[in-house]
């Protein structure tokens, strides 16, 4: 099915690009993204078999193993090797076809291969469409933590073909909804309200037009934030609402917990900490739990993950400053802020409060 794209313009310090949200976009990749040279496609072992053959004019395809555990410098090295063997030069455009891991790896490769080549994002997961594909952040994980090595690399275009969402497993679609809930909390009370009341209870099999509206609405939130703060010097940090807790939960789980699931648990913990520090009404936690549960997301941290281990994992988070943990907390829906004024005991109390007993 085809659906005319919604165009969302993103500006940044060195230029601008369009995010296209529609259906049936992938076969027209070169025209829509205005690619003139060779295309080097980077995808993964899950997405490639489903969608790679929909893209025409590909000179070289590099397939990486699927999964967060492969978002490493070792994987980047194998991609470099295959691009060199294929004779890919600086006239080529690297195209990322996949979820957030593929986008992060491909973007980092595009930023560094031959000192930089053009880059186009074709996100195929809800999480990647509404979050990872917009804003230019790329990176890979280290054993010590997530996204510790990376670069800012702005794409020349983003094609969000929402028809790919209908091939997602339900749990992967739900994981992406955690970022949609987060975007509503940050600066779109109307969006959060619809999620909170269950008015917008979408699934991967929802009508294409509804998926297009959902993705475009969520992208606008991120677009507006990253335009204001392209290099994460201020307001952009608020996009990490729930992530200080969430990344630590992912790490302690050995990445068995999906990113979106970690963010969902992290949003609840952030609300608990916000109320504990008297920044928001204690009822905020319940409101967030309702919105997450309506999307089939977890709201409790598994008891097997020790609170102390989660707290220690937070210190590998690059969001800390001068050795202090920074948390994004809430005063209300649409009113979030960054603080380092939370003690170890307060953080541990919030982790424990939102764990299964």
Identify whether 346 is a catalytic site residue: no
Closest CA to 265 of 225, 238, 229, 305: 305
Identify whether 243 is a catalytic site residue: yes
| Residue of 247, 258, 276, 326 marked catalytic | 247
Identify whether 222 is a catalytic site residue: yes
| Residue of 54, 147, 194, 232 marked catalytic | 232
| Residue of 182, 204, 220, 259 marked catalytic | 259
Task: Give SS3 for 4.
Answer: strand
| Residue of 46, 68, 153, 179 marked catalytic | 179
Closest CA to 137 of 126, 127, 125, 149: 149
Identify whether 220 is a catalytic site residue: no
| Residue of 222, 276, 279, 326 marked catalytic | 222
38, 93 Cβ separation under 8 angstroms: yes
- Pairing mode, strands 137-142 and 118-123: unpaired
Rg (CA), the chain: 19
Identify whether 12 is a catalytic site residue: no
| Residue of 240, 276, 279, 289 marked catalytic | 240
Total length of the chain: 357
| Residue of 51, 70, 236, 276 marked catalytic | 236
| Residue of 70, 137, 258, 279 marked catalytic | 137
Identify whether 344 is a catalytic site residue: no
**Distance between start and end Cα atoms, the chain:** 47
User: In whole angstroms, what is the distance from residue 313 CA to residue 324 CA?
Assistant: 13
User: In whole angstroms, what is the distance from residue 120 CA to residue 108 CA?
Assistant: 12
- Pairing mode, strands 118-123 and 58-64: unpaired
| Residue of 220, 243, 258, 276 marked catalytic | 243
- Pairing mode, strands 137-142 and 145-152: antiparallel
Residues carrying an active site annotation:
115, 137, 179, 222, 232, 236, 240, 243, 247, 259
């Amino acid at each position: 099915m085809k659906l005319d794209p919604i165009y969302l313009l993103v500006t940044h310090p060195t230029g601008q690009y369009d995010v296209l949200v529609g259906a049936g976009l992938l076969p027209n990749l070169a025209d829509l993204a205005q690619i003139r040279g060779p295309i080097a496609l980077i995808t993964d072992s899950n997405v490639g078999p489903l969608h790679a053959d929909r893209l025409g004019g590909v000179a070289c395809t590099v397939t990486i193993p699927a999964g967060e555990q492969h978002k490493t410098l070792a994987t980047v090295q194998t991609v470099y090797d295959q691009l060199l063997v294929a004779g890919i030069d600086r006239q080529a455009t690297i195209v990322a076809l996949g979820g957030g891991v593929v986008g992060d790896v491909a973007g980092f490769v595009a930023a560094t291969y031959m000192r930089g080549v053009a880059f186009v994002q074709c996100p195929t997961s809800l999480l990647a469409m509404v979050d990872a594909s917009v804003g230019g952040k790329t990176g890979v994980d280290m054993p010590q933590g997530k996204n510790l090595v990376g670069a800012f690399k702005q794409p020349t275009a983003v094609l969000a073909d929402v028809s790919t969402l209908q091939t997602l497993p339900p749990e992967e679609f739900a994981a992406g909804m955690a970022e949609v809930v987060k975007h509503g909390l940050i600066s779109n009370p109307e969006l959060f309200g619809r999620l909170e009341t269950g008015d917008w209870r979408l699934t991967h099999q929802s009508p294409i037009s509804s998926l297009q509206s959902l993705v475009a609405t969520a992208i606008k939130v991120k677009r507006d934030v990253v335009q204001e703060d392209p290099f994460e010097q201020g307001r952009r940090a608020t996009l990490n609402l729930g992530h200080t807790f969430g990344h630590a939960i992912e790490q302690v789980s050995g990445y068995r917990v999906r990113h979106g699931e970690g963010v969902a648990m992290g949003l609840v913990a952030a609300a608990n900490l916000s109320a504990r520090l008297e920044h928001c009404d204690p009822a905020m936690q319940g409101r967030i739990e309702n919105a997450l549960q309506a999307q089939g997301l977890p709201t409790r941290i598994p008891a097997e993950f020790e609170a102390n281990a989660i707290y220690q994992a937070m210190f590998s988070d690059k969001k800390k400053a001068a050795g202090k943990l920074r948390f994004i907390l809430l005063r209300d829906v649409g009113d979030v802020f960054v603080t380092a004024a939370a003690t170890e005991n307060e953080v541990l109390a919030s982790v424990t409060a939102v764990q299964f007993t």
